[in-house]
A and B are shown apart, each in its own frame.
Chain A
Amino acid sequence: MTLRLAHNLKSAYALDMAFIRTRQQWGWLLGLLVVLVVLPLFASDQILTVLTIIGIAIISVHGLNILTGYCGQISIGHVGFMAVGGYTSAILTAKLGWSFWAALPVAALAAGVAGLIFGLPSLKIKGFYLIMATIAAHFIIIWLVLQFRTITGGPDGMPVPKPAIGSFVFKTKASYFYLVMAITLLATFFATNIVRTRAGRAFVAIRDNDLAAEVMGIRLWSYKLQAFFVGCVYAGVAGALVVHYFAFASVDQFPFMDSVWYLGMLIVGGMGSTVGAIFGAVSLKLLDEAVTIVGPILSAAVAPQAAAALALFMRGLVIAVFLIFEPRGLAHGWELIKAYFRLWPFSFEDAD
C-alpha cells in the first residue's frame, strides 16, 4: 500500500511487524473506506453488481491463494467447495429457517470439512495427481448435489432468502454491496495475516520444497490439511455470498470452468501475494465485463455464438500470455512501480 517505505525508522520490533506501518498506509486505507462507503450513493446498479461480484471473487481467490499460491497445493476444484458452502447456507436458511449470520459460519465450516476430505489424497500425491483429485472432487460434489434432489432441488435449484438484520433486509444492490465489501475487507485482513503466522511460513516452506520442509520438522500432513481447510473456508464464504446474492441456488452457478478461471486470476495477479489475488480478481472480472459489452456487438456482426466463444478464448489467451511473459503476475509489476517511486530520483538502491 505504501509507496515510500524508506526512512521510516522504527523504535520497536512490534512497530515493524504492525499490519499498517506508516501514516501513508493509514491514509490509503481511510481513502479506500471512504470511497467504498460513498460509492453506492453515486454508482449505478450495474456498476454495483460488477463490484459485488468482484468482491466475492476476491474472497474466493484469497482462499485459492493460500492453498495454491502459498502452500503449493494446486486445486481445480475450488468452485466445487464454493458449491458446498453455497448449498449448506441455502439449505440452512431456506429449509431450516436459520438466519444468514448463523448459516454463514456453518457454510464456511462445511466447505472446510469438504476440503479436508478431498485434501486427504494430498498427503501422498502432488502436482498433476492432486489436480486430478481436485477435479474429481468438483464433479463428485456437483453429482451429489444433483442426487439429493429432495433437499437441494436437484437440477431445478432452490430459492434462497436474502440476508437480514432484524427487519432490515439486504435487498437492494447497494446494501448487498456494503455487506460483500465488509466481508471482503475482513477476508483480505485475515488472508494477509494468516500467511504471516507460523502456519503461513510453513506453507511457503512446503511449497518451495516439501521434502526439505519435512526434514526441517514441519508436519506435512498437518499443514497441508490446514491449507486445504483455510482455503476451502474462504471458498465456502464466497459460495454462500453468491447464493444469497442471486437469492437462488443452482448448480449452474458453480460451473467447472470457473475453477480454472480462479486459478487464472491467481496467475495473472501473481501467486503467493495477497495483493496479487486482488489484482487478479479485479482485472480478470473487468476483462469479463469488457467481453460482455463487446460480445453482443460481435454476436450481431459475426455469429450468435461469438460472444461466449470470445470469452473462453480471451480467458485462455490472457493466462497463456501471462505465463510466458510475466509469470510473476501483476503483483510483480506493482512491486516495480513501488520501487520506482521509493527510489526516485535514483534508479537503484544505495549499496549501503
Chain B
Amino acid sequence: MTFFLQLVLTGAALGMIYALIAIGFVIILKCSQAFNIAQGHFVMIGGYLGFTFLVMFNLPIWASIVLAIIVAMIMGWVIERLTLRPLVGQPELAVIMMTIALASMLEGAATLIWGAQYKTYHGVLPSFTLKVGELSIPPESLIGMIVSLITIVILLLFFRYTKFGLAMRATAEDLKVVQSLGIKATVVFSVSWMIASVVGVVGGILLGAVSGAMVSLAQIGLKAFAVVLLGGVNSIGGAIVAGIILGVLENVAAGYLDPLLPGGGLANVFPFIVIIIVLIFRPYGLFGLARIERI
C-alpha cells in the first residue's frame, strides 16, 4: 500500500509538470490555431537554460528563473515572428510541418550550443526530504508541484482578470470578430507563443532539476501531447486534470508492470498507448468540444 501511495504521489507531482507543459500547447492552439509539435523542445531549452544560469553563471535560483523567463519570451517572440507569421492563412499541414522543422532546428541549435553531453544540476535545489507517515516526498517533486501550481494559477488569473487575457480568450473564440473590434490579432499570436515558450522553459527547469538537462528532454513534449489529447485539445482545465491522471497512471503502471516485462521501458511507451486508445474511443478527449464540420 505504501508503495502504491508513493507511486501515486510522485506520479501526481510529475503530472503537474506535464500539465504545465500541456497548457503551453493548448494556449498556442487556442489563440493561433497552430499545433505546436516543438513544445517539448521549449522544455529541452528550459533544461539547458537552467543549467546555464544555475551552474555556469552560478546565479541564485530566483535570478535564474527570471532570466530564463526573459530569454524564453524573446525566443517565443522571434520564433513566432520569423517562422509562423509568414504561414498565416496557409493550410494546417504547413503549420504543423513548420513546428516540426522548428523542433529539428531547436534540437540542432541546443546541441551546437550546449553539446550532446548530459548536464546535471542536482545539488542546486535545496535538498530535504519531507516525511508524511511512511511516505517520503522527494524535494524536486515538491518544488515541481509548487512552481507548477503557482504558474498555472498566475496564468488562470491572467486570462480571467486582465484586459489582454480577455483579448486572448476572445481570439480563441472568434478571430474575425476580434479583428473587427480593433484588437491586433498578430500581437495576440506573438504573446501566445511567448507564454507557451515561458511555460515550457519553466517546466524544463523543473524537469532538469529532477533528471538533468539533455536533448532527450524534448521527448517530454510527446507526453504532453498525450495529456492534451486526453484532456481535450482546447481545454486548459482538461489539461490539468489529464496531466495528473497520466502522471499517476504512468508511474503506477511502470512501477507494477515493468518488472514483469522483459524489455521494460513501459513508462516511455505508455503515453502512446493512451494516445491510441483516446483517439479511437474519444477523439475529442475528456473535456474537449466535439467538432461539427460543414462543407
Contacts and interface: CB of A to CB of B under 8 A. Distances in A.
Contacts of B225: 132, 135
Contacts of A312: 104-105, 107-108, 111
Interface string A294-305: 000000000111
A255 interface: no
B92 interface: yes
A146 B295 contact: no
Given A313-B105, A320-B101, A320-B105, A131 B96 contact: yes
A140 B276 contact: yes
A76 B295 CA distance: 27
Interface in A288-323: 303-306, 308-317, 319-320, 323
Interface in A121-150: 121, 124-125, 127-129, 131-133, 135-137, 139-140, 143, 146-147, 149
A215 B293 CA distance: 13
Contacts of B269: 139-140, 143
B150 interface: no
Contact of B283 (A124, A320, A323): A124
Interface in A192-232: 209, 211-212, 215
A309 B35 CA distance: 25
A136 B275 contact: yes
A13 B97 CA distance: 40
B262 interface: yes
A120 interface: yes
B98 A323 contact: yes
A314 B273 contact: no
A206 to B, nearest CB: 13
Nearest to A261: B104
A308 B117 CA distance: 13
B173 to A, nearest CB: 20
A323 B279 contact: no
Contacts, number: 145
Q: Give the size range of B's interface with the partner.
A: 35 or more
Given A143-B269, A260-B104, A310-B108, A211 B295 contact: yes
Contact of B83 (A74, A147, A306, A320): A320
- Of the listed residues B92, B97, B272, B295, the one surrounded by the most CB atoms of chain A closer than 10 A to its CB is B97
Contact of B112 (A211, A306, A320): A306
B229 A132 contact: yes
B103 A143 contact: no
A12 interface: no
A257 B106 CA distance: 13
A324 B86 contact: yes
Interface string B251-280: 000000000011101001100110110011
A264 interface: yes
B94 interface: yes
A143 B275 contact: no
B270 to A, nearest CB: 10
Given A132-B225, A143-B269, A309-B109, A257 B283 contact: no
A128 B111 contact: no
Given A131-B96, A215-B295, A143 B112 contact: no
Nearest to A266: B97
B1 interface: no
Main secondary structure of the interface of A (DSSP, over half): helix
A228 to B, nearest CB: 15
Contacts of A315: 101, 104, 108
Contacts of B294: 211
Interface string B192-233: 000000000000000000000000000000100100010001
A327 interface: yes
- Of the listed residues B87, B90, B98, B111, the one surrounded by the most CB atoms of chain A closer than 10 A to its CB is B111
Contacts of A319: 97-98, 100-101, 104
B60 interface: no
B105 to A, nearest CB: 3
Contacts of A105: none
Contact of B280 (A120, A154, A306): A120
B238 to A, nearest CB: 15
Given A209-B295, A305-B115, A310-B108, 15 more contacts: A125-B283, A129-B283, A132-B229, A133-B276, A135-B275, A143-B269, A147-B262, A211-B293, A211-B295, A303-B115, A312-B111, A316-B104, A320-B98, A323-B94, A327-B90
Interface of A: 72, 74, 76, 118, 120-121, 124-125, 127-129, 131-133, 135-137, 139-140, 143, 146-147, 149, 154, 209, 211-212, 215, 257, 260, 263-264, 267, 303-306, 308-317, 319-320, 323-324, 327
Interface of B: 35, 37, 83, 86-87, 90, 92-94, 96-98, 100-112, 115-116, 222, 225, 229, 233, 261-263, 265, 268-269, 272-273, 275-276, 279-280, 283, 293-295
